[in-house]
Structure 1
Amino acid sequence: MRPTVDYFLAPQSPWTYLGHARFVAMARDAGATIRLRPMDLGRVFPVSGGLPLPQRAPQRQAYRLVELERFAQWLKLPLNLHPRFFPVAGDPASRLICTVDRHDGLDAALALTGDVLAAVWVHELDIADAATLAQLLAKQGLPAERLAASQQPQAQADLDAHTQAAIDAGVFGAPSFVIGGEIFWGQDRLDFVQRRLLQR
């Protein structure tokens, strides 16, 4: 029986960026079914005790930068610790990912997600800007009209549903992976995700 993973993410999250490609590869290797669930952290944080980055204590903000640099070096991934466009609203990109998932399928949506994450943390692009999102669609060879569709009520309804699913599952941060009701929070828990996926 193929395991199913609910993949809760925020497209502006550096931790999601650091784990995205590894997670997708291990899920495919395990024959797992991925349910891609972009979420609105602005709604998840208030009900889970989380704080937006600018509101966190200076010690926590400083240590976050230390850990980001450590993991980027360990994983040999490029990462700008202070990207030009961050903080940035994630909802426009999340709605676009939802739209591509609905119309073009999971693989296309996962590939677009990887490009969106790299746009923030590698290429220093503004993922809240329609021109940037149009550029990322074109890079993936996806229809340009997906951008307009992402601004329609269906895309917001999909994002709302994913956000509520995260809240109902007890998710409180990104990325989170939920397998059979068990939460794995963070790209640094992917070893445990892999073990869980390989259980039969």
Structure 2
Amino acid sequence: MPATLEYYLVPNSPWTWLGHQRVRDIARAAGARLEPLPFDLGGRVFPVSGGLPLAKRAPQRQAYRLLELRRFSQHLGLPMNLQPRFFPVNGDAATRLIVAVQLNDGDERALDLAGALMQAVWVQERDIADAATLAALLAEQGLPAARLDDAQAAAVAQRIDANTERALARGVFGAPSYVLDGELFWGQDRLDFVARQLGV
């Protein structure tokens, strides 16, 4: 039976963007199932794990974050606007949309959309809190416009709640986080360890 790699993500995280395609490639190379688990990081996980929104972090931490983002962007050859026009941005609507696509179209299409949403923030400087932007991204991905309405369904909110509870149970405190065989890996810079554990 193929391994399952749990992937805890939020669509407005630069670190999730930096690791998104790599974790997909690693899972594919290993023949593992990559399970997208969009969750409520800022509203429910940060308050119980000691995390702070970016604006509330010490100036030294904020400055170093930009340095590290630049380093990793250059190292990985991934384009990134370090201070995009629409950031900070509320990712709740985008999170619901990813889950609506997952429930209706499957994990792979949800992962495609998640990547497009992150690229919209960090490369294209688009506002993923804006309904028109979300509609355009659905169209660009060849997904039904109806998913915007589907994102308001109770089942979507329930799935996000369940994902968040699962994240808390796993000890997740940031994004991206990956869990393999019950072991937590935090951050895209830990993907080499994930790959090693998967044997690729």
Correspondence 1:40 to 2:44: no
Q: Which residue of 1 aligns with 2:116?
A: 115
CA contact (8 A) 1:8 1:39 kept: yes
The Cα shift of 1:2 comes to 1.1
Q: TM-score scaled to structure 2, two decimals? A: 0.97
The Cα shift of 1:96 comes to 0.5
Separation of aligned partners in 2, 1:12 and 1:37 = 14
The Cα shift of 1:3 comes to 1.0
**Amino acid aligned to 1:100:** V
Q: Post-superposition, which runs of at least 4 consecutive aligned residues in structure 1 deviate over 3 A?
A: none
Separation of aligned partners in 2, 1:129 and 1:34 = 28
**Amino acid aligned to 1:93:** A
Mark the runs of 5 or more structure 1 residues left unpaired by the alignment.
none
Separation of aligned partners in 2, 1:74 and 1:131 = 33
Separation of aligned partners in 2, 1:24 and 1:85 = 26
Separation of aligned partners in 2, 1:163 and 1:9 = 10
The Cα shift of 1:76 comes to 0.8
Q: Which residue of 2 aligns with 1:10?
A: 10
CA contact (8 A) 1:100 1:146 kept: yes
Q: TM-score scaled to structure 1, two decimals? A: 0.97
* Aligned-residue identity in percent: 62
**Amino acid aligned to 1:4:** T
* CA RMSD, 1 decimal: 0.9
Q: Deviations over 1:18-38 (max 9, x none)?
A: 000011011011010111101
Separation of aligned partners in 2, 1:154 and 1:84 = 32
CA contact (8 A) 1:40 1:90 kept: no
SS at match of 2:35: strand
Separation of aligned partners in 2, 1:161 and 1:128 = 23
Q: Deviations over 1:158-190 (max 9, x none)?
A: 111111111111000000000111000000000
SS at match of 1:131: helix
SS at match of 2:7: strand
The Cα shift of 1:144 comes to 0.6
Would you say how many aligned residue pairs link Structure 1 and Structure 2?
199
Q: Deviations over 1:122-144 (max 9, x none)?
A: 00111111111111110111111
The Cα shift of 1:157 comes to 1.2
Q: Which residue of 1 aligns with 2:188?
A: 187
Q: Which residue of 1 aligns with 2:178?
A: 177
Separation of aligned partners in 1, 2:124 and 2:164 = 27
